[in-house]
Structure 1
Amino acid sequence: MVIIGTKCQIQQKVTEEVTAAAVGSGLLPVFGTPFMAAMMECAAMTCLQEFLEEGQGSVGTHLDITHDAPTPIGMTVTVEAEIRDVSENGKMVVFDVRAWDEKGPIGKGFHTRAIINNERFLSKCNAKLEG
């Protein structure tokens, strides 16, 4: 059973490889929004993982975030995901997500993940390759 209030944090040092300029989402050497979004999804996935049964996984279905402040190369970004809500059938999980660096908040929002059966999900996905 997924427990509301469960939290998970992850960190990443900002290097040239995770800048807006490197990913093409901007031209400046600052922490890129796509990398912040990926960190938010990763924190949520990691948070949910302990509640999953053998053969289950989770996939992101919605991400609604703001990136409110820049972070330069050399600083560390911390992201936290906290389980806020679980659907009645227990398959959809909503997370509050937030990000900050050593100087304060840089982003926030919410993220939804669906709990899936890995084998069934991959089978459905790979069926797209057939005729």
Structure 2
Amino acid sequence: MLNLSELLQTGLSAEVKKTVELEDTIGNSSPYLNQYLSTSACAALAVQAAMAATENLLPEGYLSVGRRIDLEHEIPAMLGTTVTVKAVLREVRGNRLIFDVTGTDALGTIFRGVNERVVVNRLGLDEKGAERARQLKELKERL
């Protein structure tokens, strides 16, 4: 069995930077909000930073997949703002990786949260996905 504690140390981190563009406001449910960084864009940046932290550190054939994400906005970020998102590995629990994530601009914190990821074998993931698709197809054919 893969022992992630031997491969990854707590405190491991990565950052991504992004200037808020119109595409980063998509997903806001009100036209009034189309000038602000959306929750879905914050989540995407958090995931990107967490994945970058383990890039090239997992054995061949393994990857991390999202299990849970929890974000809390503290202040809005508008179009044109440069946002830095940092993910720090807080805990390795079996095959689970718990990252603390913080999004900041030049003045301070915009959002913070937790991204929990699970390290899986890519082939096993493909098999489970294919099996689920097969079951759904059979169900649809019966209905």
TM-score by length of 1: 0.91
Does 1:49 find its partner at 2:55?
yes
Larger radius of gyration: 2
Of 91, 115, 118 in structure 1, the residue corresponding to residue 119 of structure 2 is 115
Alignment partners' CA distance in 2, 1:126 and 1:17: 32
CA shift in 2, pair 1:26/1:43, >3 Å: farther
Q: Is the 8 A contact 1:25 1:33 kept in 2?
A: no
Q: CA RMSD in A?
A: 1.2
Alignment partners' CA distance in 1, 2:130 and 2:43: 26
Alignment partners' CA distance in 2, 1:126 and 1:24: 33
Alignment partners' CA distance in 2, 1:114 and 1:60: 6
What is the identity, as a one-letter code, of the residue corresponding to 2:101? Answer: V
Of 77, 96, 102 in structure 2, the residue corresponding to residue 98 of structure 1 is 102
CA shift in 2, pair 1:15/1:92, >3 Å: same
Q: How many residues in Structure 1 have an aligned counterpart in Structure 2?
A: 127
For residue 94 of structure 1, report the CA deviation from its aligned partner: 0.5
CA shift in 2, pair 1:50/1:25, >3 Å: farther
Q: Is the 8 A contact 1:25 1:32 kept in 2?
A: no
For residue 66 of structure 1, report the CA deviation from its aligned partner: 0.1
Report what 2:92 is aligned to: 86
For residue 5 of structure 1, report the CA deviation from its aligned partner: 0.4
Q: Which runs of 5+ in 2 are unaligned?
A: 1-6, 139-143
Alignment partners' CA distance in 2, 1:93 and 1:42: 14
Q: Percent identity?
A: 31
Q: Which runs of 5+ in 1 are unaligned?
A: none
Instruction: Give runs of ≥4 in structure 1 deviating > 6 Å.
Output: none
More helix as a share of residues: 2
Report what 1:4 is aligned to: 10
